[in-house]
């Protein structure tokens, strides 16, 4: 009698079932179950990772905010320079003082 499912080596990854299996085709945990002490440590590590991620996000937001402020100031300075050059060109007669209709 032919087996329906092929035998797999222990620790093999079953791409159809998306988990590790042993040689009998039974599901295997990817790691040992967490003990109470390990669970507390795991939660502490998760909280520390979340805090570090929050700090990084805040730093990135501050950098973005500073960049936006610099862009606004640069645009205002460019606009002022453009208006000054237009006024100067009008005074020297290079541009007519006509408003476009």
70 pLDDT band (50/70/90 cuts)? very high
The whole-angstrom separation of Cα 64 and Cα 74 is 15
Read off the tokens for 15: 């791409």
Contact between 19 and 27 under an 8 Å Cβ cutoff? The reply is: yes
**What pLDDT is stored for residue 7 in this prediction?**
61
More confident residue, 97 or 60: 60
Q: What is the pLDDT of residues 11-69, one digit of tens each?
A: 454 455 445 555 555 555 555 666 777 888 888 999 999 999 999 999 999 999 999 99
User: pTM of the prediction?
Assistant: 0.49
101 has a pLDDT exceeding 70: no
Contacts of 12 (CB under 8 A, 6+ apart): 20, 21
């Amino acid at each position: 009698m032919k087996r329906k499912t092929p035998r797999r080596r222990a620790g093999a990854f079953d791409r159809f079932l998306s988990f590790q299996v042993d040689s009998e085709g039974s599901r295997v945990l990817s790691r040992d179950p967490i003990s109470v002490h390990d669970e507390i440590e795991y939660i502490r590590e998760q909280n520390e990772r979340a805090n570090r991620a929050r700090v990084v996000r805040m730093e990135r937001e501050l950098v973005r905010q500073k960049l936006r402020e610099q862009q606004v100031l640069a645009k205002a300075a460019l606009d002022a320079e453009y208006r000054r050059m237009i006024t100067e060109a009008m005074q020297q007669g290079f541009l007519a003082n006509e408003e476009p209709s």
